[in-house]
Structure 1
Amino acid sequence: MNITEILVQPQAIAWLPWAVQYFFYIGSAYAAAILFLLSYLFRAHTSHYLRSALVLTMSIGAVVGPLALTGDLHQPGRAWHFYTNITPWSWMSLGSLFLPLFSALAILTAWLYLRDDIAKLKHSDSAIAQKVAWFSFGNWKTTSSQIIAVTVVTCLAGLTIALYTGAEIYVVQSRPLWHQPAAPLLWFVTAFIGAIGFALLLLALFPIPAKANVFTQSDQGLIKRALLVSAILAAVLLPIWASNNPSFSLYESQAWLVRLGGLAVSFLACMGIALLASKIALYNRAQLLLMSAISLICCWYLRWVTIMDVQIIAKFDQGPYPYELPMGSAGLLGILGMAGLWLALALAASEIVAIPAKPTKNNSITKPLAKQHTVRT
């Protein structure tokens, strides 16, 4: 009997941490588009500040996400080949058409909704803010029907992003943990957790005076329902996803039990803050930052486990194939850089949202606002 040993040449990991960043930011963008549409349709019950946070989450994610994708392509110039060599049977090629359309529509939707806030900057004491006011492009009135129409189209474009990002990994048949319906569904439902996390972070950045009466109970209700439903669906899908690997049982690996346990705890934490959302003051920045951190960590860590950690599972032999996060631009530096870019854009955009007027005894404008605060959905 002869024994033949097969030596496998060392290979670079297929999906880099840049892909996790892309899925993270673009997922929050299309989820925020859907939540913004819901909040705008019920705008009589939701506040301008929650809607602003959602529309900015959508537009900023639609800008930062594609930049992370160019990092995963190893060189920005490589993206040009998608347009010179279109292959309709490739989900990645189709995504190169869907992505710029969604990004453009997301920015257009945010601009239409925030035009009035941008126009008010002409009364600012800052010379830079006065120049930003020029981007309102005139004094014409933005109608609600225009905003709804553009937002509906943006949501449809966002669904094409959810479809292609899930499908381009689902088609990899050599990875059973990817080639199953539970994988893209997990990314889709947890995208709403990320959207709420970013929206809460923006609410903490808005220049809203402490204890300002600008939020409604419907704001808290939307946050609560979005977090609770998404976390429950994710908790149901996670064991289904983990069970669909015929060659390697995740439940027999100590390392994978820790990963799955961490995800389960994060889902429970999201359920917990969802149930407490009605008791949390949306003007309390410390509470907002805590809720935001829990939501964003949950959303990001799920993508890291399902994209990066899955690749260390051996396809044919026993492995192991450990992965160490590099410190450079392809690893930790890239992650921090994208987070810093998102935060920089959020800080700049948060200054656009108008500060509410201080209530006075003779100010009749504050009366409907106070009445609105008691509306229940």
Structure 2
Amino acid sequence: MSIIEILTPAYEVAWLPWAVQYFFLVGMAATSTVWVWRCAWSNDSALRRLEPALMIVLLCSSIAAPVSLLADLHQPGRFWHFYAYFTPWSWMSLGAILLPLFVGLSVANVLAWWLNKRALWSWLSLALLVSALSILVYSGFEVMVLRSRPLWNTAFLPVNFALTAALASLGAILLVARFLPGGVAGLPLEYVRRWSLGVVLALIVVALFWVGTGLMGYSHSFGAAWELFQIYPVWRLGLLGSSIFGLLILYMLSRPVSTLQGNFYSLLCAAFLLGSAWVFRWIIFMAVQGVPKYGAGLYLYTMPLGSDGLLGMLGVLGLCIALLAASTTLLSLFPARRSSLTA
């Protein structure tokens, strides 16, 4: 009997964990603009109580996202190349134009809201919504266009990016509200619950369409995923875990709205909503890069502990915490918006 030893080489990944943080934060910022637009054009007094937490989420995520992007470029000076050598057929080059515009509009919206310029804020929210749509398109398509990765090369990817990001923005609202006067109980929880349920149901529908088109032979990404599920136990375990996780979120959101008023339950729900969006991106970027384009086996990847791995992820988390602390402190100290916290 002969023994055959198969060695799996270790390859450097093209997308570092910085990319996971960037796509997570920029998606959260972009999808939160839907709720910003809804609040800006509504006369519902209940939605006014959502605004402080929502605007903090928009401000923190829109500022922290570009920091992660610059870090993922390895050399921040490379960002200048997108302007000096502009290539309009490149999604990354287009993003260098679209992202600063989005960040500027986000800050402008926060300032207009802070200064009680509601008419100006309403029109700025429309401009921000259009800009956010461009961010969702560019960030989704710059990954989708890579034909060498069948798991990425599908129109369902940008849609899933957007829907999971919407869940993250709602989870972030639940989390941020805990640090504001009135806490989670001060939020219009029926709106948060209804929006979250709508997004989860939309994700289920999209998943069914993906499976359906794959079974009919129209989706190469489904075929590639199905092959991974059949060959590798770790991918089967990931599919099982994702399904259980999704059903658990659906159950939690289906509970009476009064349940969300509990501090522990709302924190758990926020963690699940944020975690689902983050884990989805980790699988898409880091796990998929472990699948060889040619050959057998999975590439080995060990996350470094330095700035390109764990330390960098902790740094982004620290930046978000610092922005959250600064914004909530300013919001509670200055009288310009103190009334909105207790409305």
| TM norm. shorter chain > 0.5 | yes
Note closer, same or farther for the CA distance 1:34–1:295 as it changes in structure 2 (3 Å cut): same
The reply on whether 1:227 has 2:196 as its aligned counterpart is yes
How much has 1:8 moved relative to structure 2? 11
Partner of 2:164: 190
1:250 pairs with 225, 228, 231, which one? 228
Alpha-carbon distance in structure 2 between the residues aligned to 1:24 and 1:210: 23
Question: Are the aligned partners of 2:11 and 2:300 in contact in 1 as well (CA < 8 Å)?
Answer: no
What amino acid is the match of 2:153?
H
TM-score, normalization: structure 2?
A: 0.86
State the alpha-carbon separation in 2 of the partners of residues 33 and 186 from structure 1. Answer: 17
How does 1:72-111 map onto structure 2 within 5 Å? 72-111=72-111
The one-letter code sitting in structure 1 at the alignment partner of 2:276 is C
Q: Distance in 2 between matches of 1:58 and 1:342?
A: 11
Q: Which residue of 1 aligns with 2:142?
A: 168
Asked if the contact 1:60/1:342 (under 8 Å) is kept, the reply is yes
1:150 aligns with 124
Aligned to 1:21: 21
In 2: Cα distance, 1:108 partner to 1:280 partner: 35
Residues 327 and 8 of structure 1, relative CA distance in 2, 3 Å threshold: closer
Distance 1:240 1:323 in 2: 32
2:292 to 314, 318, 331: 314
Q: Which runs of 5+ in 2 are unaligned?
A: 1-6, 215-220
What percentage of aligned pairs have identical amino acids?
31
- Superposition deviation, residue 66 in structure 1: 0.6
Contact 2:170 2:196 in 1 (8 A): yes
From 259, 264, 277, give the equivalent of 1:280. 259
Greater shift after overlay, 40-49 or 106-115?
A: 40-49
Tell me which amino acid in the other structure corresponds to 1:250.
Answer: L
Q: CA deviation at 1:10?
A: 6.0
Q: CA deviation at 1:74?
A: 0.5
- Equivalent position amino acid for 1:101 in 2: L
State the number of aligned residues.
321
- Give the Å deviation of 1:354: 4.3
1:51 equivalent to 2:51? Answer yes
Q: 2 CA distance for matches of 1:164 and 1:343?
A: 27
Q: Shift of residue 278 of structure 1?
A: 1.0
Call closer, same or farther: CA 1:285–1:246 in 2, change over 3 Å: closer
Q: 1:182 to 1:327 in 2, by over 3 A?
A: same
1:139 maps to none
- Which residue of 317, 327, 332 maps to 1:339? 317
Structure 1 residue matching 2:83: 3-state secondary structure: helix
Secondary structure of 1:75's counterpart equals coil
Letter in 1 for 2:35: L
Contact 2:11 2:299 (8 Å CA) reproduced: no
The one-letter amino acid of 1:233's match is A
Question: Which of 238, 253, 257 is the equivalent residue of 1:259?
Answer: 238
CA shift in 2, pair 1:277/1:201, >3 Å: farther
Shift of 1:205: 1.0
What secondary structure does 1:322 align onto? Answer: coil
Equivalent residue letter for 1:351: T
Query: Normalized per residue, which structure has more helix?
Result: 2
Between the aligned partners of 1:191 and 1:113, the Cα distance in structure 2 is: 23
Partner of 2:4: none
Provide the residue aligned with 1:374 in structure 2. none
Once the two structures are TM-superposed, the CA of residue 250 in structure 1 deviates from its matched residue by 2.7
C-alpha distance in 2 between matches for 1:43 and 1:23: 33
Cα offset, 1:245, TM superposition: 4.6
Q: Which moved more, 1:246-255 or 1:107-116?
A: 246-255
- For the residue of structure 2 that corresponds to 1:352, the secondary structure is helix
Superposed CA RMSD: 2.6
Instruction: Note if contact 1:31-1:195 (Cα within 8 Å) is conserved in structure 2.
Output: yes
The corresponding residue for 1:125 is none
Name the structure, 1 or 2, with higher relative contact order (CA <8 Å, separation 6+): 2
Paired residue type of 1:36: V
Q: Distance in 1 between matches of 2:177 and 2:98?
A: 29
- Three-state SS of the structure 1 residue aligned to 2:152 is coil
Distance, in Å, in 2 between the alignment partners of 1:347 and 1:247 is 44
Contact 1:101 1:157 in 2 (8 A): yes
Instruction: Confirm or deny: 8 A CA contact 1:220 1:277 kept in the other structure.
Output: no
Name whichever of 40-49 and 312-321 sits farther off. 40-49
